[in-house]
Amino acid sequence: MAAVFQHILNGLMQGTIYGLVAMGFTIFFGVMNVIKFSHGDVLTFGAFAAIVAVWTTSGLGLPIWLQVIFVFLAAMLVSAVAGAAISHFLIMPLRNAPPLNMLLMTMMTGTVLRETIRLFFPNGTNSQRFPELLPVGGLNIGGVFIRYDGMILIASGIASIAIVHWIIVHTRFGLAVRAVAEDSETARTMGINFSRTILLTFALGSITAGFAGALFGLYYSEINYGMGLLLAIIGFSAAIVGGLGNIWGAILGGYLFAGLQTFVVAAAPSMSDYKNVFAFICVIALITLRPTGLIAERKAERV
Amino acid sequence: MTRTARETASSAPLLVAQGLSVRFGGLLALNALDVEVRRGEILGLIGPNGSGKTTFFNVISGVYSASAGSVHFDGVDITNVKPHYLAAHGLARTFQRSRLCLPLSVFDNLALGAVGQLNSGFMHNLISRSAFRAEASKLAEEARELLRVFNPVLADKLFEPTISLGMIDRRRVEICRALIGKPKLVLLDEPSAGMTHDETDMFMNEILQVRKSLGDLTIIIVEHEMNLIERVTSHCVVLNYGKKICEGQFKEVAADPVVREAYLGQS
Amino acid sequence: MDLMRWSKRLAILAAVSAFAMVALESEQAFAKEKVKIAFVGPMTGSISPHGIGGRNSAELAVKIMNSDPKTKYEYQLEVFDDECKPNVGVQVITKIASDRSIVAAIPHYCSATAIATVDIFHRFKLPMVIWAAVLPEITYAQKYPEIHRVSGILIGQNRVGAQFMKEHGYTTFVSVADSTDYGKSMNKYFTQFTLENNNKILGTFSVPPDQQDLSAELTKIKELNPQVIYFGGLTPLGARLRTQMEKLGITAQFEGNSGIMGDNYINAVGPKLAEGTVTFFDSPPIAKMPGGKFFTEQYQAAGYREPPEAYGPFAYVATRLVMETIEKAGPDRAKITAALGDVKDVPSIIAPITFDDHGQNITPLTTKYVVQDGKWVVWEDSEYATGKRKLVNCPHC
Amino acid sequence: MSISMQSRRKAAIWPLAIAVALSAAALIALLSIDDQITLGVTLGVIAAGCVLAARFGAVAATEAAGADHPFVLRVLVVLAAIAVLIGLRNDNFGLLMVTTVLIYATVCIGLTIQMGYAGLFNFAGAAFLGIGGYTAALLGPKGVPDLLLLALGGFAAVVVGSLLLLPVLRTRGHYAALATLAFSILFNVFLDANDIFGGPQGLKLQGMVLFGWDFTNDITIAGYTISSYANYAILAGLLTAAAMMLTGFIDRSWIGVWLDAVRLDEVAASVFGLKIGRWKIAAFTIGNFFAGVMGALYAKMTGFIAPSNFTFGDSLTMVSIVILGGIGNRWGVLPAALIVVLLPEKLQFIQEYRFLLFSILVIIILVAWPDGLIARRLRKLEFARR
């Protein structure tokens, strides 16, 4: 029984990170109908910015809590800039191109980001140790090991999802985002600054990636240049399975994917090689059963 | 329900919809609709925006499925059958928003309208190329003839990209696409949308001319342009909130207080 | 980040490569006959540090050889990227083998790639000396005179490792290996020798090398509660495994192999967690090699940006061996092949090299290592051997 | 008004002849030049030539000539192929690369039918290539003749692909992209995990033997010897030509029109009587068949296959070829495959920087030429009466 709880806890943490990534995909898709595959590598950029921030701030001898704040600020800022730059220089000029071109372009952009870190970050090909900033250890309750840092991170992950949701539902900026998502032509005629809204939305989505990147580093204590690719694939899968354009769908998809992976290892440890086979088969089965996602897009096609 | 003179006419109905309902979530887009279309007539379908006219087209052409009721076409029950089945049985339509394949040539678009008459077999298309060529040339002749009725210049643009055509020519192509397959019933969804008064007039003349050459084709037409309805229809059905509120000759329905209220209430 | 420096670097890179091209062209001219040899390894992708470290070492060997006025030939190293993929390896080796001006090759870090290409070497009669791939099949699956290898095969590491663990009284193990050919092969020999020693393997896990989260596997392992977690794979995954073990509060001895040997492992997990990790590797530390000091000094003097990594010295040795053979036999493929077949007790910076009848170097000395204070230390020299420090869960320490 | 039967003047042949000759020359030059400076200059000349040709309508003239004189086109292509073979007769690597380019191009012709015509995203091209390869590797040792092996490779790809039919038919756009993307990844993980299919270490294959002719033999004609690799190049060339012709017929037939209609407007297509599912299945099946056949040939040629040859990254490479070539234009995949397969190889000298440079190049092409190298041309099913 204790093991079951332990697995659930692990799955929750993984799912939170997947969900955060998937949320980015879904936000971008919502406003511009694009899949931005470089999202995972923007996350990696954030994580590397975070590690530079730790090195710098600990070099300056700042207290731990201030280091943590700088870590998140640096990660979010760098990701926001990277995401906004990609949107401005690459996605906007191609926005009328076929979706396939966009998909390929963002995948290639991801490769560029990845290779840039690998080649130009000092010792970039190797895994980087992310210093431990959060309280080490945890509680042992009936055989379940509850990590303090894990709890903090799950809580802050969920909080950030809630904040993004609040921004989109309750602020003026959020209103503009929703208007553009609904019908960009009409939104423009109603005086919404289209390109500014797009830019800010991409910045917002990328901030969540940076946040997730910093979380990732803090939780796993290790980052590497290639971590964004698999995260992007999983995040994309989660966003699609959940239903593109729907934040709750993305979160649901993220937890579902983590749950599937964990389930295989827990239920049949000797089959652990096959866990991604199983997870992706489930993904295919789910989109076959619900071709527009678990929480379907509401838009009916006008005929 | 009022009986009209039409009911006593000898010709059997081509299309009969009985108690037809379409539900989207909580919204009843069509509510127990009864409509009868006689062979050779032009039926006008009118009503305020959102009254269910296009939904009616979509459900009888198989794009939406009915939640209740039935549709019979030429004596066959076609309730909720697949769209391609309907096309094969002689039902063709146009769309409110143009749905031409713009990157393709005019000819390719017209070929789509003639799917039923063309041989789609792999042998025919890929191996017996000369038979295929002959078939294509024959269709090109037919297409030119049909286009020429509308606009002689258009016939020369048969192998131009559709995207290069102006709005009215695109409408013409779209109607030709619906006609080239020699259907028994054509559904025209706002053919005059976006045209000026004069253009509409000219356009409708062209349609009537083609119709005559095809042997008094049966047509259901949705239109907002009431002059046009008055001129071309022999019978009208008025919808509001998915329900039939009135039917008869245009003059009769135009005078009906319920209809007037529906239109006034809307504006 | 430092954009200015990046763009500067790019500019310098462009300028340097342009110059290099011109230089290569114009330099022709006098003196010694030029001889081309090829170095092949992964220059891109996640395993590229090893490939680049090997390339640097091979370049160093060529540079040192060329600076010696007594040599008969001027050597030129052609470097190729096999991406650690068999199909790319086949392409690249076909290219090298078809180029008659290349007389010998020093190929491959990855075993699957080497297995795919040995036939091509044989077909084109191109002699080669493998610098790092470790699967036994490469040399032993067939008997081609062209194929040689200075690096050890992974059987030895596991035999020594299993013996060591038995001697220290460990009885229960869990194996975690990556799902590549390397990891699977490691796991195979680990299993074989551990069972031969009558020890128990409580569970075996195979994970893709790019997997980030190992908590599901580790939770299961925690339930199994082994004394030792054996890892067969390369550093990135090994570092993740060690780090996440700690996070889940698992206390078990961590045992690795050649794949995690190197400073990258210690850098990635930090000295505190790395402490006490044991590993078995087919080479004494550079410092203990006959020419280790020389190699380290030269490598530093050459100013390479990347470290040589664990197999750097092997790349150096393989390249040097090839050039020495060419000096003796002349730049002719058949003659080189014949001469390589006779290699026996040829001195090198690692140890004297002797090829058996399959071209396999039989002298690699499997050495036991343990991390002590953030450094890999030979077991016998460590405070663990003297009993001052203790391995985790160790019954006989 | 008898405008209808106006006879269009046929396009001149000479642009086609020049274009084919120049392409063959460029191909030989690209493959045989190894020196970096000469290569750079050659690349520059070729690129400039292409840009100028496009600017002054030479590409369009060539295409028109090709469309008007199919027979001449075929003869010229055969002549060019012979010229390339003679030019590269002793260049094993050059021939290997030509064959690889042809294999990739043919898979991409299949993807063109799926993505360019029917609008079905397929991000698992490499997986279907792999299925063909593994079929050859597993059945070859059982004594199945090699020619049959190629066909079985194709069928295996079709059969495995049919497992994906349901998701592919039910979903659209990005959702469909995910179905194939997920398949591509799980295919790879499955091969790695599985020991029956050789696991991560892969499988070895014997070389091709066709009608008693062993492909490891050099070809000797009238005293001249051509490297044995030419065997594979010739076979791949024949298969590519067959795929090209079949695809050309598909494009210039009702089937081509129906596939386009399915891609452009499913609702309109079904309202006019097309069975959407049937045509999607047809496109998916034909494309996968091409990939499977070429996979079997690929495995036979390299003599070794491993999961890492058929990764998601390789599928992405194929999608890049289709888009860079100009989606829906089957001729475009040839130069695009040449660039995408050959360029990283030719960039070997920049070693670890080559992927960075390659990705940047692809992005530049996508931004500068969104329609690809050769944009798809309007289909004209206009046939003069015989």
The pLDDT of residue D6 is 45
Residues 6+ away with beta carbon under 8 Å from A196: none
**Mean pLDDT in residue range A185-196:** 82
As a whole number, mean pLDDT of residues C115-137 equals 90
Tell me the β-bridge partners of C231.
C176
In a domain, A16, yes or no: no
- Specify whether D233 is located in the same domain as D250: yes
CA dist., res. A226 & res. C211, Å (int): 10
Q: Classify strands C367-372 and C278-281 as parallel, antiparallel or unpaired.
A: antiparallel
Q: Within a domain: residue A264?
A: no
Angle between helices B167-179 and B129-150 (to 10 degrees): 120
Would you say residue A256 lies in a domain?
Answer: no
Is A291 domain-assigned?
Answer: no
CATH number at residue D291: 1.10.3470
Q: Within an 8 Å CB–CB cutoff, is residue D356 touching chain A?
A: yes
Q: Which residues of D touch A268 (CB under 8 A)?
A: none
What pLDDT score does C254 carry? 94
Q: What is the pLDDT of residue C22?
A: 52
Report the gap between the CA of D227 and the closest CA in chain C (Å): 10
Query: Which of C29, C16, C36 minimizes the C-alpha distance to C105?
Result: C36
Indicate whether D38 and D112 sit together in one domain.
Answer: no
Query: What pLDDT is attached to residue D92?
Result: 83
Assigned domain for A251 exists: no
The pLDDT value given to residue B53: 87
Distance, in Å, from the CA atom of C75 to the CA atom of D338, rounded to the nearest integer, reads 33
- Residue B29 near residue B52, CB atoms below 8 Å: yes
Among A19-28, A36-45, A188-197, D250-259, name the one with the lowest average pLDDT.
A188-197
The answer to whether residues C218 and C136 belong to one domain is no
Find the Cα–Cα–Cα–Cα dihedral D238, D239, D240, D242, rounded to 10°.
90
Judge whether C7 lies within some domain.
no
Q: Decide if A215 is inside a domain.
A: yes
Q: What stretches of A60-147 show up as alpha helix (H) in DSSP?
A: 64-86, 99-120
**Is D364's Cβ below 8 Å from some Cβ in A?**
no
pLDDT band at B2 (very low <50, low <70, confident <90, very high): very low
Q: What is the pLDDT of residues B123-134, one digit of tens each?
A: 898 888 889 999
In a domain, A193, yes or no: yes
Provide the β-strand partners of residue C176: C205, C231
User: D67 in a domain, yes or no?
Assistant: yes
Q: Are residues C199 and C311 in the same domain?
A: no
Q: Could you tell me if C159 and C149 lie in one domain? A: no
Q: Are residues C254 and C299 in the same domain?
A: no
In a domain, D373, yes or no: no
What tens digit of pLDDT does each residue of C4-30 get? 555 555 556 555 555 555 555 554 445
Which residues in B lie closer than 8 A to residue D270 (C-beta atoms)? Answer: 62-63, 82-84
D47 lies in some domain: yes
Going from the N-terminus, what domains does chain B have, and what CATH number goes with each? 1-90+185-267 (3.40.50.300), 96-182 (3.40.50.300)
pLDDT (average), residues B186-204: 86
Q: pLDDT tens for residues D245-255?
A: 999 999 999 99
The answer to whether residues C59 and C120 belong to one domain is yes
CATH code assigned at C46: 3.40.50.2300
Best D349, D350, D354, D355 residue to mutate vs chain C (most C CBs within 10 Å): D349
Is residue C19 situated within a structural domain? no
From D56, D87, D118, the end of a domain falls on: D87
Q: Are residues C230 and C145 in the same domain?
A: no
Cα(D270)–Cα(D254) distance, rounded to whole angstroms? 15
Contact indicator for D70, D13 with CB cutoff of 8 Å: no
Q: Residue B254: enclosing H or E segment and its boundaries? A: helix B250-255
| Closest chain D C-alpha to C3 CA, distance in angstroms | 17
Chain A residue numbers with beta carbons less than 8 Å from the beta carbon of B54 are: 303
**Does residue D380 belong to any structural domain of this protein?**
no
Q: D105 and D51: one domain?
A: no
Q: What is the rounded distance in angstroms from the CA atom of residue D267 to the CA atom of residue D274?
A: 10
C-D interface: how many C-beta pairs under 8 angstroms?
106
The per-residue pLDDT for A221 is 86
Please name which of C371, C182, C379 lies closest in space to residue C269, comparing C-alpha atoms: C371
Q: How many CA atoms lie within 13 A of A192 on its CB side?
A: 24
More confidently predicted of A243 and D239: D239
- Does residue C105 sit in the same domain as residue C249? no
Chain A positions in Cβ-Cβ contact with residue C271 (cut-off 8 Å): none
A43-52 as b/e, with b when 16 or more CB fall inside 10 Å? bbbbbbbbbb
Residues D75 and D217 in one domain: no
Report if residue C165 sits inside a domain: yes
Tens of pLDDT, residues C342-357:
888 888 888 888 888 8
Could you tell me the CA-to-CA distances from A29 to A23, A113, A228 in Å, in that order? 10, 21, 19
**What backbone torsions phi and psi does residue B68 show, to the nearest 5 degrees?**
-155, 160
> Quick one: what percent of chain A has pLDDT higher than 70?
97
Percent of chain C residues topping a pLDDT of 70: 92
Distance of CA D248 to the CA centre of its chain: 13
D83-99 in b/e form (b: 16+ CB < 10 A) is: bbbebbbbbbbbbbbbb
Q: How confident is the model at residue A259 (pLDDT cuts 50, 70, 90)?
A: very high
Choose from B220-234, C201-215, D156-170 the range with maximum mean pLDDT. D156-170
Q: Give CA–CA dist D226/D83, Å, rounded.
A: 12
Residues C298 and C308 both lie in one domain = yes
What's chain B's average pLDDT? Answer: 86
Helix, strand or coil, per DSSP, at residue B185: strand
Name the one residue in this structure whose structure tokens are 């980001």.
A113
| Long-range contacts at D30-38 (CB < 8 A, ≥ 24 apart) | D30/D338, D30/D342, D30/D346, D31/D88, D31/D91, D31/D93, D31/D94, D31/D97, D31/D98, D31/D342, D32/D87, D32/D88, D32/D91, D32/D94, D34/C99, D35/C25, D36/C21, D36/C24, D36/D349, D37/C21, D37/C22, D37/C25
B55 touches chain A (CB under 8 A): no
Tokens, residue D339: 């660039």
**Residues C75-120: tens digit of each pLDDT:** 999 999 998 888 889 889 998 998 889 999 999 998 889 998 998 9
Same domain, D364 and D242: yes
Interface test with C, best of D31, D41, D93 (most C CBs within 10 A): D93
Residue A194 forms part of a structural domain: yes
Contact B56, B239 (CB under 8 A): yes
In a domain, D381, yes or no: no
Total of domains in chain D: 2
Query: Total domain count for chain C?
Result: 2
Comparing CA positions, the residue from C183, C248, C188, C250 lying closest to residue C210 is C183
Q: What is the mean pLDDT of chain C?
A: 86
Spatial contact of A14 and A224, defined as CB atoms under 8 Å apart: no
D59 and D118 share a domain? no
Q: Tell me, yes or no, whether C180 and C276 share the same domain.
A: yes
Domain enclosing residue C191, as ranges: 155-281+367-381
pLDDT tens profile D264-273: 998 899 989 8
Residues D61 and D101 in one domain: no
Per the structure, the complete domain to which residue D64 belongs is given by 11-87
Say if strands C33-41 and C102-106 run parallel, antiparallel, or are unpaired: parallel
Q: Which domain holds residue A144?
A: 24-228
Residues above pLDDT 70, as percent of chain D:
96
In chain D, residues with a C-beta closer than 8 Å to the C-beta of C124 are: 92
Average pLDDT, chain D: 86
* pTM score, whole prediction: 0.88
Same domain, D124 and D83: no
pLDDT (mean) for C138-148: 89
- How much is the average pLDDT of A196-224? 91
Residue C361 has what DSSP assignment? B
At residue D386, does pLDDT exceed 50? no
The answer on D289 and D270 residing in a single domain is yes
Q: Are residues C96 and C162 in the same domain?
A: no
Give the closest-approach CA distance of C334 to chain A in angstroms: 39
Query: Do C214 and C134 share a domain, yes or no?
Result: no
CA C9 to chain CA mean position, Å: 29
Residues D282 and D209 in one domain: yes
Burial of D302 (0-12, 13-18, 19+ CB in 10 A): buried
Please choose, from the candidates B88, B89, B24, B25, the residue with its C-alpha nearest in 3D space to the C-alpha of residue B59.
B24
Give the phi and the psi of residue C226 in degrees, each rounded to 5.
-80, 165
> Which residue would you say has higher pLDDT here, C241 or A10?
C241
Question: Are the C-beta atoms of residues C127 and C106 closer than 8 Å to each other?
Answer: no
Instruction: Examine residue C114 and state whether it is found in any structural domain, yes or no.
Output: yes
Whether D34 shows a pLDDT value over 80: the answer reads no
pLDDT at site C64 = 92
**Residues 6+ positions from C11 with CB-CB distance below 8 Å:** none
Distances (CA, A) of C14 to B106, C2, C8, C56: 52, 19, 10, 20
* Alpha helix positions (H), chain D: 14-32, 36-55, 58-68, 70-87, 92-111, 125-139, 146-162, 165-170, 173-193, 229-251, 254-264, 266-271, 276-302, 312-325, 333-346, 354-368
At C1 the pLDDT is: 42
Considering only CB atoms, B125 lies closest to which of D253, D271, D385, namely D253
Rounded mean pLDDT of A33-43?
91
Rounded to 10 degrees, what is the CA torsion of A164, A165, A166, A170? 120
How many domains is chain A partitioned into structurally?
1
Domain shared by D132 and D237, yes or no: yes
User: Does C110 lie in the same domain as C36?
Assistant: yes
